Structure 1
Amino acid sequence: MAGAVGHAQWSSRFAFIMAAVGSAVGLGNLWRFPFQTGANGGSAFVIIYIACVAFIALPVLMSEFAIGRHAQKSAVSSTRKMAQDAGRSANWSFVGWVCMAGGFLVLTTYSVIAGQVMAFSAAGFAGGFGQESMPFMGSNWWGLGWHALFMFVTVLIVAQGLKGGIERVVTILMPLFFITLIGLTIYAITTGLESGATGEAFAYLFTPDFSQVDGGTFVSALGQAFFSVGVASAIMITYGSYLSRDTNIASSGIIISGADTLVALIAGMMIFPIVFAFGVDPAAGMGLIFEALPNVFAGMPGGNIIGGAFFFLAFIAALTSSISLLEATVAFVDEHSDFGRAQIAWLFGGFAFMIGAGAVWSSDFAGQFVDVLSGEILLPFGGFLIAVFVGWVVPKKLLREEMQHASNGMFAFFHIMMRYIVPFAVGIVLLLGLDARFNNGALNAMLGLG
């Protein structure tokens, strides 16, 4: 099938890989992965997480690329066309709608957190993390300003289009991200050798103790793997729609999910030597990145530069993710309106800013409505729908055409996972998450996961 008329395509496989890796690599790799590792027994969690990426997240990622490339349209239009070409109802476009809505809502609060990351990076490079050097972090008005600045940068990039905006930025920022990540990791490892913190950190990450594993560990690992790779938010369907016919979806999926996992592991090797050297709780949650680490940087020789670089690294990760979240919505509206891309980007960037502004002023609004609706309902539900759609609605022959470069063994693995394993696994995570939120964990307790 030829590309859709007027539909953009990646200029190279390198640009696609950098954009997709940038989308997958986000604040979750630098904050949520270390926190989940700390809260779930260390290295045993890491091994289970890697297995979940390989057997659950990777097949879903390949599915989304296949859906997008088949139609070469936005996520909603791509799911509709694939359903129609499979002889099924066009109402299966509902899958795309759920994913796109979830991804857009994630953007609204993600921008607020990313704005804080920008502020901490500026504080580090401006002189340190002491209270006297951070007057711009003391009020909601400052939080609103940093949120606005981050959203402004995001919209500015997306408004320039695929090649002039997204490609140009990710092909510069992602190599810079990896250089900075490796540099900070080498610094953390070498400075922690004398105190023994590096050995402690590596043992924590890579010496498994399965006596600490329970059912909740598997649920946490699957949730982290599923959301870290960036599926079920319409991003990868949209990015897949820009693929040429000669792109190997299977190998690209392996590279992207592998790179995302590698970044999470390297981030652990960067953060945990510092955590153990200064006696910080590895399971400190969001406080690890916004409270504990800034205090550590404030007391380190050269901590202002190291801390500024760390938060700049987090800023790059956040930005490459946020532009993909906005792009998914912009691509859909661009297909169905007479507005220009720039107008659409500014319009929906403005909508995202306003919702995020509510989160700045009300943590209940952010945590009890937006975060729950997006992270605990729409994204898991979207992932479940993707699994059912690809595993049971789309004919095997149609999928094989989109994955013609994959070996027979690889395709067989992919299809079995999407048909039998992924719907069950994601469905369980969705049910347990809803149970914990709305039923006080009754189902979790009954299954021994509470």
Structure 2
Amino acid sequence: MERRGFNSSFGMLMAAVGSAVGLGNIWRFPYIVGTNGGGAFLLVYISILVFIGLPILISEMVIGRRARSDSVDSFKKLAPGKKRYISGLISVIASFLILGFYSVVAGWSLEYLIKSITNQFSGSSPQVIETMFTSFTSSPIKPIVWTFVFLFVTIFIVKSGVASGVEKVSKFAIPVLFFIVLVLGIRGLTLEGGMDGLRFLFYPDFSNFTMEGFLAALGHSFFTLSLGVGIMITYGSYAKDDENIGKSSLLISICDTTIALIAGIAIFTSVFTFGLNPGEGPGLVFVTLPNVFPLMPGGYLFGVAFFLLLALAALTSTISLLETLTAFGIDSMNLSRNKAAIGIGVCAFVVSIISSLSLGDTFSIQIGGLSFFDFVDKLTSNYMLTIASFIEIIFLGWFYKREYLKDELTNHGKIKASFFKVYYFMLKYVVPIAMVLIILSSFGILKSA
């Protein structure tokens, strides 16, 4: 029996790409590259994406479609009587925490959309724009108001259902976002510091690359592909029976990486042109891009369009996170869609308030020397997503029947899956070994030289 879900393969692809791209590749990817040395980080990141991320992405899609349920109930169906569902529970908690701090950044995009519309960047120096960002994010009230607005819209869309909400928004937002980022990237290449930006992004210099950078690359590969948070399991459960999971997973990875690279080009060409710090941190996209718009023909309109699309990109990610949590509420807790979406959304808003306040001075909240915002980011990306995914691949590679996997990837023998042998070898041997080493390193058991 086919679960009610996406109306088309294109709709599913756009929703999955929207979850993967979102703010992850336009906000998060550039600043992580900047703080971890540029080209060396990029090379490690892409390698992890191909050899670890893609096999796990395929696996999560298989789990979802095979079980036709949320990330917790799926494991209960595929491994009845076992405790494999702990992976799903970790995913649900991680998804909830990410929604909490991610919605704060999504709210930032609305503030910057208003700033663009009111032309507040015109005539402002890079220093003024940087101060503008710091002043806003440290405010105890304004970011929370925008976060509330963003979560309200997210809840409304998720309440509308998969096809009418998630799919409809994604099919509009992602193609337009790609076009906007592409134009911005091309414009960045014409700037005076364009070649310096490209050199920083693509030239691998490992002299200052550390284990911390390696773990950041791993964490972002999971974050950007939405691995370990249950999103791809949930979306897999909505996929049609004739969906080519292998092909769709590859396309998701390619689209995700392409947009990340274009966003990196757009931002780092700007960073070096204006003599700004590539290691700016989470505020990089909000500090550098407003400097670019005044240089462009029609820069005012382009700036408004960019931050509008940035907000839409963020929305495709927040609705993916809330949809995953709503599916858990429906399938595992027997809640109605309305109760699940509203209840979980309200609880996530509480986490958002704490995350936002932790960035200011008035109500500074720190854990282990990090703001609550940064702590949740690091906890989920570097630990929870990795552990959840590790449990998934051990289950599929060692405790689930090989023929069941092949049956799902060939659509019950209707299509060829020539990649299956390579995929299964990676799943069973390569990915688990790599992830054991990574997990040991993340907990400080293995040290870099």
TM-score (norm 2): 0.87
Aligned partners of 1:24, 1:163: CA distance in 2, in Å?
A: 18
Change (3 A) 1:15 1:298: closer
Match of 2:19 in 1: 23
Cα deviation 1:303-346 (Å, max 9, x = unaligned) = 65444443333222211111010011111211245643123211
Match of 1:384 in 2: 390
Listed as ranges, the gaps of 5+ residues in structure 1 are 436-442
Match of 1:111 in 2: 103
CA contact (8 A) 2:219 2:381 kept: no
**Residue among 75, 78, 95 paired with 2:71:** 75
Identify which range, 398-407 or 49-58, moves more after superposition.
398-407
Aligned partners of 1:38, 1:257: CA distance in 2, in Å?
A: 22
Cα deviation 1:99-129 (Å, max 9, x = unaligned) = 1111111101110111112111211121223
Aligned partners of 1:290, 1:368: CA distance in 2, in Å?
A: 17
Change (3 A) 1:337 1:48: closer
Change (3 A) 1:303 1:92: same
Match of 2:406 in 1: 400
Aligned partners of 1:432, 1:309: CA distance in 2, in Å?
A: 42
Match of 2:241 in 1: 245
1:270 aligns with 2:273: no
Match of 1:171 in 2: 171
Deviation at 1:167, TM superposition (A): 1.1
Aligned partners of 2:178, 2:293: CA distance in 1, in Å?
A: 25
Aligned partners of 2:210, 2:355: CA distance in 1, in Å?
A: 34
Change (3 A) 1:424 1:312: farther
Cα deviation 1:218-246 (Å, max 9, x = unaligned) = 43333322221111000000000011221
Aligned partners of 1:211, 1:370: CA distance in 2, in Å?
A: 29
Aligned partners of 1:33, 1:274: CA distance in 2, in Å?
A: 15
Cα deviation 1:257-316 (Å, max 9, x = unaligned) = 11101111111111111111101111221132234544x358757665444443333222
* Cα root mean square deviation, aligned: 2.6
Aligned partners of 2:149, 2:336: CA distance in 1, in Å?
A: 23
Structure having the higher helix fraction is 1
CA contact (8 A) 1:119 1:137 kept: no
Aligned partners of 1:51, 1:114: CA distance in 2, in Å?
A: 29
1:421 aligns with 2:406: no
1:96 aligns with 2:88: yes
Aligned partners of 2:314, 2:39: CA distance in 1, in Å?
A: 26
Change (3 A) 1:427 1:153: farther
Number of residues paired by the alignment?
A: 427
Deviation at 1:408, TM superposition (A): 5.5
**Residue among 425, 434, 445 paired with 2:443:** 434
TM-score (norm 1): 0.87
Aligned partners of 1:337, 1:287: CA distance in 2, in Å?
A: 38
Q: How does 1:115-154 map to 2 (within 5 A)?
A: 115-129=107-121, 139-154=139-154
Cα deviation 1:122-179 (Å, max 9, x = unaligned) = 1112122357999976731111101101101111110100111111111111112112
Change (3 A) 1:215 1:91: closer
Match of 1:440 in 2: none
Aligned partners of 1:261, 1:125: CA distance in 2, in Å?
A: 30
Q: Which amino acid aligns with 1:383?
A: S
Deviation at 1:378, TM superposition (A): 2.1
CA contact (8 A) 1:48 1:218 kept: yes
Change (3 A) 1:274 1:388: same
